[in-house]
Structure 1
Amino acid sequence: MLLFILGLIIFFGAHFFTAFARVARADVITRLGPMRYRGLFSLVAFIGLALIIVGWPDADKTVLYVTPPALRHVTYGLVLIAFILLAAAYLPAGKIAAAAKHPMLASVKIWAFAHLLVNGDVRSLLLFGSFLGFSVIDRIVLKRRGAPTPTEGPIKNDLIAVAVGVIAYGAVAFYLHQYIAGVALF
């Protein structure tokens, strides 16, 4: 459990640093340069993620709640939406990205919430709750900061985002989820 918790602290600590410590972050970027800063940030985030993955099997599996099996179908639908938003975050902006304002954070919030609907064990609550909490906090920070949001683009960009999101969802749901999370969905 220690590696799992340490991984969460390192991973989200790096992300909270970028969200809250703007002056300190700017100083680090000035000292290291933008490329070295990105490399360092990526390395720290990767170490945190690796510790989360390595610590996952030994983390507390105590079940705190069990939800009705029908919620699995709600989760499948929500995660599909999350994949479409994720695609919209990285492809040229359309109406979806503009409406979501920060489609990556919206994607993570929906993905984490969906997983909390069907995973009531301690380690899942810590993992998905951390992602949900960070995404909510970061969205508030970005809104207060007045961070730019995507400008609405043509509908063809939305069609591409939907297609990419559906294909990625299908790949994960029907094949990769068993390797990523150790649970076959279908």
Structure 2
Amino acid sequence: MLILVIGLVVFFCVHSVRLFAPNWRETSMGQGKNGVMRWHMRFGLLTLLATAFIVMGYMQMRVEPIWLWFPPVWTRHLAGLLVLVALFFVGSALVPNTSMKQKMGYPLLIGIKIWAFAHLISNGTVADVMIFGSFLVWSIVSFAVYRRRDRKTGVVYVTSDESSVPSNLLAFVFAMISWFTIVFYLHEAVIGVSPLV
């Protein structure tokens, strides 16, 4: 459990800098490409290290799982559908000029919310609650803080127009390809559990 906790703490500390110190990232980058590159390298290495700890800790806790509840089978099917929706929001964050980005500003955080909720309802061990519960809380808090800051600074979110249709289609294609890749290969390869079982 300690490895999992360390991984989660490092991950959320790294990804919460903008919540508590909005300008610290830009200050740390400094000027020039070298500063930006160093920042991204450090950020990426810490994220990779934290993710590795989370996966290792989760795998250790799966050996002797502590069950809090036993989710019914239908929650797995619902989770599969919700993850597809979550991936669409992730695609909407990656692709420029999508409707979700124009309307909500932070579709990636919405995607993380849905992803975490989907896994939380379909898994019932302590490790699952630690991982997906913490991601759900973090994404909810982050979304609320960023939207509040936007309101204070006068950021206005607009309704989508016809120019966003190609971007929305690209986000949908991203979601479908990612979903099939995860369901049929990546999830089992990385986590050791097939969503199809």
| Residues 101 and 149, structure 1, Cα contact 8 Å, conserved in 2 | no
In structure 2, the CA distance between the partners of 1:33 and 1:150, relative to structure 1 (3 Å rule), is: farther
2:10 aligned residue: 10
Q: Which secondary structure does the structure 1 equivalent of 2:169 belong to? A: helix
Alpha-carbon separation, structure 1, partners of 2:84 and 2:38: 35
Displacement of 1:113 in angstroms is 0.3
Partner residue of 1:171 out of 176, 181, 189: 181
Deviation track 1:51-95 (CA, whole Å, cap 9, x = no partner) reads 112222223720101122111111111111011111111012222
In structure 2, the CA distance between the partners of 1:18 and 1:45, relative to structure 1 (3 Å rule), is: farther
1:106 aligned residue: 110
Alpha-carbon separation, structure 2, partners of 1:40 and 1:15: 12
Question: In the comparison of the two structures, how many residue pairs are matched?
Answer: 186
| Residues 59 and 191, structure 2, Cα contact 8 Å, conserved in 1 | no
Matches within 5 A, 1:152-167: 152=160, 153-167=163-177
Q: Which residue identity does 1:11 align to in structure 2?
A: F
1:86 aligned residue: 90
Alpha-carbon separation, structure 2, partners of 1:149 and 1:125: 35
Query: Does residue 120 in structure 1 map to residue 124 in structure 2?
Result: yes
| Residues 64 and 122, structure 1, Cα contact 8 Å, conserved in 2 | yes
Deviation track 1:21-79 (CA, whole Å, cap 9, x = no partner) reads 22444443339823212222222222111111222222372010112211111111111
Alpha-carbon separation, structure 2, partners of 1:45 and 1:163: 27
Displacement of 1:144 in angstroms is 1.6
Alpha-carbon separation, structure 2, partners of 1:77 and 1:149: 31
Alpha-carbon separation, structure 2, partners of 1:107 and 1:50: 21
In structure 2, the CA distance between the partners of 1:156 and 1:9, relative to structure 1 (3 Å rule), is: same
| Residues 66 and 119, structure 1, Cα contact 8 Å, conserved in 2 | yes
Unaligned segments of structure 2, at least 5 residues: none
Unaligned segments of structure 1, at least 5 residues: none
| Residues 62 and 122, structure 1, Cα contact 8 Å, conserved in 2 | yes
Q: Calculate the aligned-residue CA RMSD, in Å.
A: 2.2
Q: TM-score, normalised by structure 2?
A: 0.85
Moved more, 142-151 or 48-57: 142-151
Q: TM-score, normalised by structure 1?
A: 0.89
Alpha-carbon separation, structure 2, partners of 1:119 and 1:150: 35
